[in-house]
Each structure stands twice: as C-alpha cells, then as structure tokens.
Amino acid sequence: MSVTEINFDGLIGPSHNYAGLSLGNLASARNAGAASQPRAAALQGIEKMRGNIRLGLKQGIFLPQWRPDGAWLTRLGTDVGAAEPHIRAAAMSASSMWAANAATVSPAADTLDGRTHLTVANLVTMAHRSHEWPQTLAQLRIAFSDDRAFAVHDPVPPPFGDEGAANHMRLTERHDLPGVEVFVYGQSGGPFPARQHVEASKAVARIHGLDPAKALFVQQSEEAIAAGAFHNDVVAVANERVLFTHELAFADKARFYTDLRAALPCVEIVEVPASAVSLSDAIRSYLFNAQLVTLPDGGMALILPTEAQDTPAVWTWLQQMVAGNGPIRRLVPVDVRQSMANGGGPACLRLRIVADPATIDPRFLVDEAKLEAIAGIVSNYWPESIAPEDLSDTRLIARIEQSWLALVDHLQLSGDLAP
C-alpha cells in the first residue's frame, strides 16, 4: 500500500454567483449583487489543480452539485419559479465548490479500526449550505466505496453545526504515521455566528474512533470570528509537524500550544504576530486560507492567493519567513479571484485525504490530460456571467443543468449521480 496525501478540489459549478448569502463572510457580503463569472472561476480552479500536479502532488476532484436543488425547494413547498429571491438564490448556490466543508477526515493511522473515516458536514448554520450534504454524501460514497479502506458516515444531527475540515487540523511527524487531530469550535458572540459546535466536533471524534489522548478540542477566539474568520482555516492551517497560525486565532493559545506539544513533541508552531499582520489584513488576504503542503523533496510550500502579494504587510512578512530557516521554504501564489470574491481561498477549495490512491474510484482522480478535457467542457458549457437577477431566467437554469449533465456524462458518472 502506498499511502499519500491527496487534495480533492471542488470544481466550481456553473451556477456560481454572488448572492451574499453567508453572514460573517466579509468577502461574500462585500461582493453581493455583483456579476460573477462561472466559466472563469472554474478555469481558475482547474489551473490551481494543474499547478499542484506540477508540484508533484496527487490531485482529486469533486463535482459541482445539481442546481437548482428542486428537491430542497419542494420540501419548502415551492419551486424555482415561485420561490422568493433569497430562497431561489439558496437553491442555486454553488458553494459546494468549497470542498473543505465537505467532510471531516481522519486517516487510517489515527482510527481504531485502521480505516480512513469521513463524516459529511451538515452545514446547518447557513440555509444555502444546509442542503448540500445529501449530494456530497453521494459522491463520497462512490469515491470511497472500498469499505476495507474507508468508512463514510452520515452527518452529525442538528442542531449541532458541523462545518467539516475547515475547522479541523491534523498534525503528525509524517502523513502516514499516527497524528494529533485538532477540532476547532466557536462560541456565539460578536456580530457573526459561530458555525462549529463543540458537540459536533466531539461526535465526529467518537464516530471516527480516535484516541482521546490524540484529539484536542480548541476554542476559536471570538475576536477572530468577529473580524470575519468564519472558519478556523481563515486564521490557521497545519501540515505534518507544522502549525501555521495567527497570534489571535485561538481563545486560549497558551493552553492549546502546551497540549499540542505534549501530544506531538516534534511540532513546530509558526505564529504570525498581530503587530506584523493584523487580523484584518490576514482575513482580507486569506493568508492562512492557503494550502500548506509537503513537496516530494520533503520541503514545505505555501500555496496562497495572489491577494497575499497585494497586501504589503502580509507579503513582507512572508518573504522574511521564507528567507529564514523555518520549515516553510516556498511561496506559490495562485489566482483564484472568483472564489476569493465569494469568500473562499485555495484551502477552501480542497479536502485533504491521506490514503492509497489505488483504493479510490479513479473517476475522482485527475491528471493534466483529464483536467484539460474538463476545462474544455467548462469552456463550452459554463455561463460566462451571472448577475443576481439572472437566477430566475429559465434559459440560464436550462444551461446550468445542461452543463452539469455534460460534465457528469464525460466522467462516466451519470449512472451513479442522479440529478
């Protein structure tokens, strides 16, 4: 068995739009009402995946969801033509593109039964995301259907909100070795809701069969949530032995750091001081919503949005960091501006899974040739632009549906994923 980390990116869907549905997501609110560019957005995401492959990383993909979600509208007693604008927009949301919210993943090395466990996130805090999980679960159960290697679980029941890997970090000496899993939860306070409930995090740890001594439950700081860090991955990211974090990310960082060092003595904590990079700059640039990855040569790289280059305090600090002797040695800026405008950076777009690629349905794994073919479908079918008022246009809806069908048919998944 050859176990490695695979990044599964969510392909940005043809209904990608800026309806401003996500309370607490400053970029989403700031761009509400603007025209989106679904085709450009998806092509940007594909280019990011290509870049990862060229770095020597393994790459997977998750498909956009069928939109509009007519089944959800039916349960609300309406349909896409009659629904109120905010309900119609929620039914058309392409937010499943942010695969970091798809599920929480515990690799086989951490679990009692020696299988990789995935629990699909319920996303109950936000209406436009709360109806994603059934279609997400369907893809997970196809991609990870080998029950000798994987266990795929239903979501934690409401009212306990679970936002998936966006509030979960794993630290370990090496990906294939047992590690420490860090579950970050919030408490209500300030102008924005805390989305991750501690009881959901505890439930996932129990369901996955984690060693209690290797599962830490850490509170996100209310200051960070109030500043717009609606998920922990906006202010912290981990990879193997490295925790890269903002000084103000956690409510009690001293206790967290002590517990983490006790559980994983080899851990290296790279903390960005607020005096160098403010919370505001960190959140606006999505400095921490970066992919921190281990390269084939063993060094670590930070795949981060080009907005980090555009924020002087952030870029200055990053250049000083890589010039030193720390574990992060390379900066790889990527253009995902369409995703960033709706509140999701490079790390939001991917779900990390440590597994043997041979145990995964190959239809969900990609190389450059496969991405080139998908890019061709995007270029031919995805709408060029969507304004909020377009969401009731039957011609646009028909095109979105046709786009999804063309993609699913190309990937030979039409028999498995019913609209």
Annotated catalytic sites, by residue? 163, 231, 348
Q: Report the alpha-carbon distance of residue 404 to residue 419 in Å, rounded.
A: 9
354: region left, alpha or beta (phi > 0 left; psi from -120 to 50 alpha): beta
Please report, in angstroms and rounded to a whole number, the separation of the first and last CA atoms in the chain: 35
Q: Report the alpha-carbon distance of residue 418 to residue 368 in Å, rounded.
A: 27
Nearest one of 153, 146, 37, 156 to 94, comparing CA atoms: 37
Nearest one of 325, 319, 375, 282 to 39, comparing CA atoms: 375
Backbone angles phi, psi at 333, to 5 degrees: -70, 140
| Whether the Cβ atoms of residue 107 and residue 355 lie closer than 8 Å to each other | yes
| Whether the Cβ atoms of residue 144 and residue 108 lie closer than 8 Å to each other | no
Q: Report the alpha-carbon distance of residue 190 to residue 230 in Å, rounded.
A: 12
